Amino acid sequence: MSLGKKHVPTSCGEGAGGRVQKLDEGSAHARPAIGDVSGAFADLGTFIPLVTGMVLLGGLDPSRVLVGFGIFAIATGVFYRRPVPVQPMKVVAALAIAGAIDANAVIASGIVIGVVLVVLAMTGLIERLQTLVPKAVLHGVQLGLGATLIWAAAMLPKTSLPISAVLLLLLLGAQRTRLGSYSALGLIGCGLAYTFFLGAHDLPNVAFALPSFAVIWPAWPDFVHSGYSVLLPQLAMTLTNAVLLTAILASEYFPQSKDHITTRNLALSSGFLNVVLAPFGAVPMCHGAGGLAAQYGQGARTGLAPIIFGAFCLALAVMAGTSAMQWLMQIPAEVIAALLAFAGVQLMSLNKLAVASRASLVVVVATALVSLATNVAIGLVAGLVLARVSTAIRDFTRT
């Protein structure tokens, strides 16, 4: 559409979409590139606790793990050209931290889940799944996931809750000023300055070394173990959070990219990259709605954000080696908690509740509560059941 040509919408939906697109394009030009830099590190609240826990307690090679994240993030930025995040798969991380699966089973999980995601994407089953889930259910899962992130931030160990709350308020307040695109980066910088100059901490070792690229192929029992203990719960969470919710949120933030950031492409990119990277020691990774909300909230608008994050991971792997996790842990826990809670607040999108009908509102709130009390996968199932019951009752009352 040329600048001099008047666009006449053919429907109300097209007109609304056109307005959203213009607003988004305008905001992309209005926000400085520093938004992508700050947004690149806005998801550290999820990344650091899970990755450091997997490495320190799960016996994984930190250099290989960081190289995997680096390649995954750079490939994501180049392909999507938007701040689509890269996160560790949460069920796998939790099981590895708890000692329920070892390093070989973690690698096997990445391969198994990756193959399943590729199959779902290539066969078109992922699009069919998307059509079966009502928007009210997905909004409820989104609301519940946001609340879960806030709760997780409050429960982080060795964290002062009042300080974390103050930092969160500063992050949220900064979004109403010109400092919004600098806030995450500034908070991390201040946290590191406190650690190094006022916290009396010794700097971790610096050990320049190239990571090993030897292939690690798990034994058959590792694949079997990952299949029955990891596959179903992780797949349910990945399809809900990393595929369905991420695609919906991306279409709201970047309507002009909705035909590119699709459920099929998100499942395909996650699956393919896991299959390729897992044998080299990478942990299972995926995209995530919380990370997208956090990065967008900090001003990230292009694929530069994940590319910067990926380059950071690669540099840390080469410069720090086995001490990489110690370097990440220099960021104070209160800063990590504030970033994690910020992602939750951005994801909740409470404005959707104001425009929802009474029937939809019941489904949204109930789905959110179940998601918060259990997990997003169970919340999705509960929401589907409730939505079906609600529809049946409404149809019965009309007859």
In whole angstroms, give the CA distance from residue 14 to residue 4.
19
Q: Which bin fits 94, alpha (ψ -120 to 50), beta or left (φ > 0)?
A: alpha
pLDDT given for residue 56 in this prediction: 87
Q: By the 8 A CB rule, do 339 and 363 touch?
A: no
Q: What's the confidence (pLDDT) of residue 31?
A: 54
- C-alpha span between 260 and 81 (Å, rounded): 10
pLDDT of residue 158: 86
Q: Once rounded to an integer, what is the mean pLDDT over residues 305-314?
A: 97
CA 61 to chain CA centroid, nearest Å: 23
* CA neighbours closer than 13 Å in the CB half-sphere of residue 46: 31
What's the burial of 131, exposed, middle or buried (CB within 10 Å: 0-12/13-18/19+)? exposed
Q: How confident is the model at residue 356 (pLDDT cuts 50, 70, 90)?
A: low
Q: How many CA atoms lie within 13 A of 378 on its CB side?
A: 7
- Tens of pLDDT, residue by residue over 164-213, are 999 999 999 998 888 888 899 899 999 988 888 876 566 777 777 778 88
User: Residue 193 half-sphere exposure, CB side, CA atoms within 13 Å?
Assistant: 6
The per-residue pLDDT for range 35-90, each reduced to its tens digit, is 999 999 999 999 999 999 999 888 899 999 999 999 999 999 999 999 999 999 99
Mean pLDDT in the chain? 86
Residue 121: phi and psi, rounded to 5, are -70, -45
Rg (CA), the chain: 21
Whether the model clears a pTM of 0.75, i.e. scores above it, the answer is: yes
pLDDT category of residue 353 using cuts at 50, 70 and 90: low
Give the percent of the chain with pLDDT over 70: 88
